Amino acid sequence: MALTGIQIFKLLPKTNCGECGVPTCLAFAMSLAAGKAELAACPYVSEEAKAQLTEASAPPIRMVTIGAGDRALKVGGETVMFRHEKRFESPPGFAIIISDTMDEAEVNARLERFKLRYERVGLTLRPDLIALKGDSGDVARFEALVNKVKQASQAGLILMSDNPDILKAGLAACSERKPLLYAATKENLEAVAGLAKSSSCPVAVKGSGLEEVAELTEKLTEAGVKDIVIDSGSRSLRQAFQDQIIIRSAALNKKFRLLGYPTICFPGEIAADPMKEAVIAAMFVAKYGGIIVLSDFQGESLFPLLVARMNIYTDPQRPLATTEGIYEIGGPGEGSPVLLTSNFSLTYFIVSGEIENSKVPSWLLVKDTEGLSVMTAWAAGKFVADTIAPFVKKCGIEDKIKHHKLVIPGYLAPESGGLEEELGGWEVLVGPREGAHIPAYLKTWQP
Ligand code: SF4
């Protein structure tokens, strides 16, 4: 049972030192109770109090890890209903289904499609999990599939069957990979809970409706299983959507621990058409899927889903930023143009893309503007002559060129005079305002 703010306050040192970032212990206690602060922010909590406060400071949706090593996926840990309140914490994992009734060619093709990945604003977007389905009912066949997939990929695994013997065989083949066991139901709960507990693997519960799910999670926790994922069992679009909202709201607003777990969704069991499935998957990305299992992967639907996930799970308070430095585009030389831009990722990718389009090899200086765009950084005083000049002098570009000409973004035109003064010996040229005009501008470049 979660503690109230006042109960938490009684366990704090009450010195009001302010080191936790808020002025009083009472304010900190209230933030902790609301899930808006981390207990670790107070360095003075006693060990005894820590033990009591752990539950109160735990996120209302438990963080669950699927898999092990570099490819482990963390889902859950959410603390808000809406992204703008703080941020969404754990991007949902996308899984592809491979069944033990598929022939070898299909299994291989799906393993290939699982390797789909895309580069976007400096990030690699790719799917996360492989869901292995024991449709055949044949223990040996399922075990063989698990072994094959385990050899072929380091990805996290989901073992899917309602037969505990099949789950047991799959688990024996890959327990060190900490797969998610799907699913414990009211018919098999005891046996599946035993498997999860003995292997320390997470387990999904599947009920027919949220009341049954809550009964199952209660039984699992009583059996000592803590890492749980929820499938409400709904396979109509409306009900599945509603369940997601109720689960999140019950955990966050009502502090109802029995639904305080990440969810697993199967859009392919709601719609047979692949495009409809992708649209439903996008809905689960926004509202509030923890793991989204797709019946198959196709580039034309997987890519937009990965981009939607990236956008929704970006911290709204921290813009995506590129590392400050000198970027070489097209193999520039001593006479190549030198352009300057901010480190807002979108700006960087637009500018570098247009330089590439121009086919004019160039040096691009990316200045740290704390992820702000050119105009915003300039307005905030972070991208002005006083800050740009020291960066240009220190970045090392002078060792790479023979001229001293710097092209600044058109929006920085008011800084050109001051920048020439600060740089001393450089000619500052005002480039285009819009990235789309860079290729035409560079074609006129004279060192
Ligand atoms: S750091 Fe701890 S002791 Fe200091 S004000 Fe915050 S809660 Fe109180």
Q: Which of 364, 372, 424 is nearest to 400 (CA)?
A: 364
Q: Which of 111, 393, 61 is nearest to 252 (CA)?
A: 61
Q: How many residues does the chain have?
A: 447
Burial environment of residue 286 by CB neighbours within 10 A (0 to 12, 13 to 18, 19 or more): middle
- Answer yes or no: is the C-beta of 9 below 6 A from any ligand 1 atom: no
What's the gap in Å between 238 CA and the centre of ligand 1?
Answer: 46
Architecture of domain 64-312: Alpha-Beta Barrel (3.20)
Tokens, residue 206:
């599947």
- Answer yes or no: is the C-beta of 18 below 6 A from any ligand 1 atom: yes
Q: Whose CA is nearest to atom 7 of ligand 1?
A: 25
What's the gap in Å between 5 CA and the centre of ligand 1?
Answer: 14
Phi, psi at residue 92, to the nearest 5°?
A: -65, 150
Q: Which atom of ligand 1 is nearest to the CA of 23?
A: 5
Q: Whose CA is nearest to atom 8 of ligand 1?
A: 25
Q: Which atom of ligand 1 is nearest to the CA of 45?
A: 2
**Alpha-carbon span 328 to 339, nearest angstrom:** 11
**Alpha-carbon span 189 to 239, nearest angstrom:** 24
The domain 5-57 having CATH identifier 1.10.15.40: the answer here is yes
Tokens, residue 321:
């930023």
User: Cβ neighbours of residue 304 under 8 Å, at least 6 residues apart?
Assistant: 278, 282
Q: Which atom of ligand 1 is nearest to the CA of 13?
A: 3
| Contact indicator for 210, 243 with CB cutoff of 8 Å | yes
Which residue type does 290 have? G
| Contact indicator for 33, 4 with CB cutoff of 8 Å | yes
- Answer yes or no: is the C-beta of 353 below 6 A from any ligand 1 atom: no
* pTM: predicted TM-score of the whole model, two decimal places: 0.77
Please give the DSSP secondary-structure letter assigned to residue 426: P
Pocket test for ligand 1, best of 26, 42, 45, 57 (most atoms within 8 A of CB): 42
Pocket test for ligand 1, best of 9, 12, 14 (most atoms within 8 A of CB): 12
Phi, psi at residue 295, to the nearest 5°?
A: -70, -25
Q: Which of 218, 228, 185, 244 is nearest to 62 (CA)?
A: 228
- Answer yes or no: is the C-beta of 13 below 6 A from any ligand 1 atom: yes
Instruction: Please report, in tens digits, the pLDDT of each residue of the chain (447 residues total).
Output: 567 888 889 999 999 999 998 999 999 998 887 767 888 899 999 988 888 887 666 788 999 999 999 999 999 999 899 998 888 999 999 999 999 999 999 999 999 999 999 988 778 999 999 999 999 999 999 999 999 999 999 999 999 999 999 999 999 999 999 999 999 999 999 999 999 999 999 999 999 999 999 999 999 999 999 999 999 999 999 999 999 999 999 999 998 999 999 999 999 999 999 999 999 999 999 999 999 999 999 999 999 999 999 999 988 877 788 889 999 999 999 999 999 999 998 899 999 999 999 999 999 999 999 989 999 999 999 999 999 999 999 999 999 999 999 999 999 999 999 999 999 999 999 999 999 999 999 998 877
**Alpha-carbon span 401 to 334, nearest angstrom:** 4
- Answer yes or no: is the C-beta of 19 below 6 A from any ligand 1 atom: yes
**Alpha-carbon span 276 to 128, nearest angstrom:** 21
User: Cβ neighbours of residue 299 under 8 Å, at least 6 residues apart?
Assistant: 116
Q: Whose CA is nearest to atom 6 of ligand 1?
A: 20
333, containing H or E segment? none
Tokens, residue 423:
């740089």
Phi, psi at residue 156, to the nearest 5°?
A: -65, 150
What's the gap in Å between 257 CA and the centre of ligand 1?
Answer: 27
Give the per-residue pLDDT at 335: 95
What's the gap in Å between 37 CA and the centre of ligand 1?
Answer: 12
What's the gap in Å between 17 CA and the centre of ligand 1?
Answer: 5
Q: Which CATH code for domain 325-443?
A: 3.40.50.11600
Q: Which atom of ligand 1 is nearest to the CA of 18?
A: 5
Per-residue burial over 174-183, b if 16 or more Cβ lie within 10 Å, else e, is beebbbbbbb
- Answer yes or no: is the C-beta of 218 below 6 A from any ligand 1 atom: no
- Answer yes or no: is the C-beta of 443 below 6 A from any ligand 1 atom: no
Neighbours of 66 (CB within 10 A): 30
| Contact indicator for 279, 106 with CB cutoff of 8 Å | no
Question: ω before 95 within 30° of 0 (cis)?
Answer: no
Q: Which atom of ligand 1 is nearest to the CA of 15?
A: 3
Measured between its terminal Cα atoms, the distance across the chain in Å is 71
DSSP conformation letters of 65-130:
EES-GGG-EEE-----SSGGGS---SPPEEEEEEETTS-HHHHHHHHHHTT--EEETTEEE---EE
329, containing H or E segment? strand 325-329
Pocket test for ligand 1, best of 6, 9, 14, 19 (most atoms within 8 A of CB): 19
Q: Whose CA is nearest to atom 2 of ligand 1?
A: 42
Pocket test for ligand 1, best of 14, 25, 26 (most atoms within 8 A of CB): 25
User: Cβ neighbours of residue 238 under 8 Å, at least 6 residues apart?
Assistant: none
- Answer yes or no: is the C-beta of 330 below 6 A from any ligand 1 atom: no
- Answer yes or no: is the C-beta of 187 below 6 A from any ligand 1 atom: no
What's the gap in Å between 78 CA and the centre of ligand 1?
Answer: 24
Q: Which of 61, 38, 35 is nearest to 289 (CA)?
A: 61
Give the per-residue pLDDT at 56: 63
Q: Which atom of ligand 1 is nearest to the CA of 28?
A: 7
Q: Which of 437, 94, 119 is nearest to 291 (CA)?
A: 94
Tokens, residue 183:
């699913």
Any idea where the domains of the chain sit in the sequence? 5-57, 64-312, 325-443
Give the per-residue pLDDT at 55: 66
Pairing of strands 118-120, 93-99: unpaired
264, containing H or E segment? strand 264-265
